Copies of this chain bind each other. A is one copy, B any other.
Amino acid sequence: MHRIIIIGGGFGGLCAAQSMKKLPVQIALIDRRNFHLFQPLLYQVATGWLSPANIASTLRAVLRYQKNVRVLLAEVTDIDAQQHKVIFAGGELGYDTLIVATGSSHHYFGHDEWAQFAPGLKTIEDATEMRRRIFCAFEAAERETDAAKIRAWLTFTIVGGGPTGVELAGALADIANKTLTHDFRSIDPAAARILLIEASDRILSAYPEELSSKAESFLNDLGISVQTHTTVTELRAGVVAVRRGDTPEIIPCQTVLWAAGVRASHLGTALATRGVATLDRSGRVIVQEDFSIADHPEIFVIGDLASYTPRGGKPLPGIAPVAQQAGRYVAQVIGSRLTGKSLRQFRYRDRGSMAIVGRATAIADLGSVHLAGFIAWLAWLFVHLVQLVEFENRVLVLVQWGWFYFRRSRAARLITGDRFKL
């Protein structure tokens, strides 16, 4: 039986596995986590709205009835493309066809020491750590008596004006302005200062300019200070140093959230080191038209780790729909090789993109149609709700969204992990 290994159970890898349901193959899906994570909603965990389990689906549960898939919980450390083997701690496994879909993580532009001051948002643990810092900041402010220190605790800097940064900023404003009203006795949570820092000339730069500027004005209405042309030059405990144009500024600030850089998974580097793959400037693996690597038709790379440029087009962005469509296509490529049937070329179908900007506001770029405001928010809700893998999670998320909408409640704002470590 043809042996397929898929590394990574994210949008790309899971979709590839599910699309091969009827193929006479033997699939091993390897992931270091036991769940598929619905990353677009991770910021809602970080801001105490949803619980981790609401956006995570156990890979085994999702694939339990697909008998040609075996799930393996392991962290892959290397790929031996000559011997057709995948190496992980405590074992190795051979393949006939390999699909690498290990995605990306955040990075700090060469300043790894910033990680301790500014957590990123890629994993469940990142999200609960962000949640801990956000809600601890208000607690610390409530206990503090020095006005300048209170101000630093109530200042939140979000680095990066992409969708994640914008969503975090909007959620933070809602926490400060609505969720925490009546909760404190010494401080006024609504006095919190929220800064959204973006290096380029506008936030949400992947969207049309018109939507960017609408999003910025929505954020301004929420009291968020959007600072474009601004880069972080230093982070240390309690201080953010930025440069706005040519003007340096020091911001006393205890809570920094990182939503800026993205670095491709280390398996791309592992493949490049072995001379198997070529990387682009961002460390992503350059793939061919069918997502395989040059000279290695048996190795496919999909999702955020892949650098795919359609003929005569722009490189595809690192978003879930691209990964899912690539996963489905690679499954078809494998199927067509097994049956000898021919296959149409891959063509990315862009169904548009959306970002949340505040409580009941969003922007949506649906190609010819641009939406902004409440209607875009409804569209966002619908699209994200139906995409959750498990029906149980859909119901739970719907209940919590409803509660949130009508009561501004954020029931999942637990400070866990390091307890009260300020």
Contacts and interface: CB of A to CB of B under 8 A. Distances in A.
Interface of A: 32-35, 51-54, 56-58, 60-61, 64-65, 70, 72-75, 90-91, 124-125, 135-136, 139, 142-143, 180, 182-185, 390, 392-393, 395-396, 399-400, 403, 407, 409, 411-417, 419-420
A411 B52 CA distance: 10
A247 to B, nearest CB: 36
Contact of A411 (B90, B393, B420): B393
A278 to B, nearest CB: 30
Contacts of A413: 34, 53, 58
A52 B414 contact: yes
A126 to B, nearest CB: 11
B400 A399 contact: no
A194 to B, nearest CB: 20
A182 B66 CA distance: 9
A32 B420 contact: yes
A100 to B, nearest CB: 19
Contacts of A183: 60-61, 64
B399 A53 contact: no
Nearest to A182: B64
Given A64-B183, A90-B143, A392 B414 contact: no
A414 B53 contact: yes
Nearest to A413: B58
B400 A392 contact: yes
Contact of A412 (B53, B180, B411): B53
A239 to B, nearest CB: 21
A60 B184 contact: yes
12 contacts: A32-B420, A34-B413, A35-B414, A53-B411, A53-B414, A57-B411, A73-B420, A125-B417, A392-B409, A392-B411, A396-B400, A396-B411
Count of chain copies: 2
Given A51-B52, A183-B64, A34 B403 contact: no
A139 B59 CA distance: 12
Nearest to A145: B91
A420 B53 contact: no
A136 B33 CA distance: 10
A135 B416 contact: no
Contacts of A60: 180, 183-184
Of A35, A53, A64, most buried by chain B (CB within 10 Å of CB) is A53
A420 B125 CA distance: 13
Contacts of A35: 414-415
A154 to B, nearest CB: 16
B416 A125 contact: yes
Given A124-B414, A392-B411, 14 more contacts: A33-B420, A34-B415, A34-B420, A51-B54, A58-B411, A70-B185, A72-B143, A73-B143, A74-B420, A75-B419, A75-B420, A125-B416, A395-B399, A395-B403
Contacts of A395: 399, 403
Given A64-B182, A65-B182, A416-B125, A143 B52 contact: no
A60 B414 CA distance: 11
A61 to B, nearest CB: 7
Contacts of A390: 411
Contacts of A403: 392, 395
A412 B34 CA distance: 11
A184 B34 CA distance: 12
A135 B415 CA distance: 24
Contacts of A420: 32-34, 73-75
A421 to B, nearest CB: 10
Contacts of A412: 51, 53
A65 B139 CA distance: 18
A69 to B, nearest CB: 8
Contacts of A32: 419-420
